[in-house]
Structure 1
Amino acid sequence: MPRSSNGIYRVALLGTLVGVLLGQNALASTLEAINHTHWAINRFSVDGRSGIDIIGPYQGGGGGCCYVAPSRWSPDMTVRVDWETGAGSSEGFPGFADRDKYYAWLDKIDAQKRQHSKVVPVPDYTGQKVCGLTVHFLPCDELQVTTSCYAYGSPEYPIKTPLHLPEPQSCPK
């Protein structure tokens, strides 16, 4: 979904104000995500800041405010990502007419929800413009993050992982 330049201006202004209020020389912008899995990302946050959108399987989204990046990167810089995964489709939805069937279906959907949390390193952005944070949700509850201003899929974008990744038979423990 394209962003309006007016919306980007407001987010940048808000990010600057957040940095000033925090007493930091900081760079701020939105939280975005790319989902490389067959699960839906029902919600996610980075360091407690909400990414807003539900992100369907093999999609992008987000738009939360704000990721505040310190003006200088350091090797120990990390972010904590919290997220919930769930069913990525409405397959088997019985409608609302038969309440018992509807609630049984809803219980099945709710039983698939899982809470996750992971601390991940922020890659070195020294000498680069920072445009918020994009979280890549990968199979086996793995994550990658970037502060790149380039769009996912462009030649300059640092994460080259294909959008559609096969789900492994098992994940490392």
Structure 2
Amino acid sequence: MKRCLPVALVVCLLLQGCVESRPTMLGAPIEGINHTSAAINRFSVNRNGGHNIGPYGGGGTQVCCAVLPRQWREGLTVVVEWEKDPSPYDYATLTEPMFTDAWRVRMEEMRKKNTQHSAVVEVAPYQELGVVTVHFLPCDQVKVAAGTTYAWLAEHPYQYPRRMEVPSTCPTP
């Protein structure tokens, strides 16, 4: 009997190699949709991905990757960080020749208006992990979906208009 135990243990370990294992976490492409008049200079989801999105722009451009669980679970959150330029059209008013000292000074003054943001955001429930869509809303609010549907389809959990105006008072977090 004592000899059978080690043999049985070895057989069990060898058979485990035959079991198909599926990862519990997967990398998913990230896209952003900006519903505001500001520019999103860059953003990230759990410190990954992100690109710039012009006012009322985005969607369709995907970068890699946010790591999320294959299956959604209650309380699932991500950290979204972004830089916002509240006056993206001011660059058109620059009259200094590009890359001169005067131009660099003006550019630096304009960049000082940019603000840095970070939010812990709940991820909308999904049946299957797909594209991670970050919606940038007025009042520095952010919503995140991560399913297999795209923002322009009726099945997407967030149906915001592309252009949203800032309300006279923003909700407090």
Q: Name the TM tier (shorter chain).
A: 0.7 to 0.9
Deviation of 1:94 after TM superposition, in Å, equals 1.4
1:58 to 56, 59, 76: 56
- Alignment partners' CA distance in 2, 1:140 and 1:46: 19
Residue 69 of structure 1 contacts residue 132 of structure 1 at CA under 8 Å; is this kept in 2? no
Once the two structures are superposed, the pairs formed by residues 129-148 of structure 1 within 5 Å of their partners are 129-148=128-147
Any runs of at least 4 consecutive aligned residues in structure 1 with deviations exceeding 4 A, and if so which? none
TM-score by length of 1: 0.76
* Greater Cα radius of gyration, structure 1 or 2: 2
Q: 1 CA distance for matches of 2:40 and 2:138?
A: 12
CA contact under 8 A between 1:35 and 1:60: conserved in structure 2? yes
Q: Which runs of 5+ in 1 are unaligned?
A: 1-19
- Aligned letter for 1:29? A
Count of aligned pairs = 149
Q: Name the CA distance, whole Å, in 2 between partners of 1:55 and 1:35.
A: 7
Seen in structure 2, the aligned counterparts of structure 1 residues 102 and 154 have a Cα distance that, compared at 3 Å, is same
Counterparts of 1:24 and 1:85, CA distance in 2: 35
Identical-pair percentage: 36
2:103 equivalent to 1:105: no
> Which digits, 9 at most, give the CA deviation of each residue in 1:108-144, with x for residues without a partner?
321211000000111221xx23213110000110011
- Please, what TM-score do these two structures have when normalized by structure 2? 0.76
C-alpha distance in 2, partners of 1:72/1:56? 32
Structure 2 residue aligned with 1:69: 68
User: 2:7 maps to what in 1?
Assistant: none
- State whether structure 2 residue 139 is matched by structure 1 residue 166: no
Structure 2 unaligned residues grouped into runs of 5+: 1-20
Indicate conservation of the 8 Å contact 1:33/1:137, yes or no.
Answer: yes
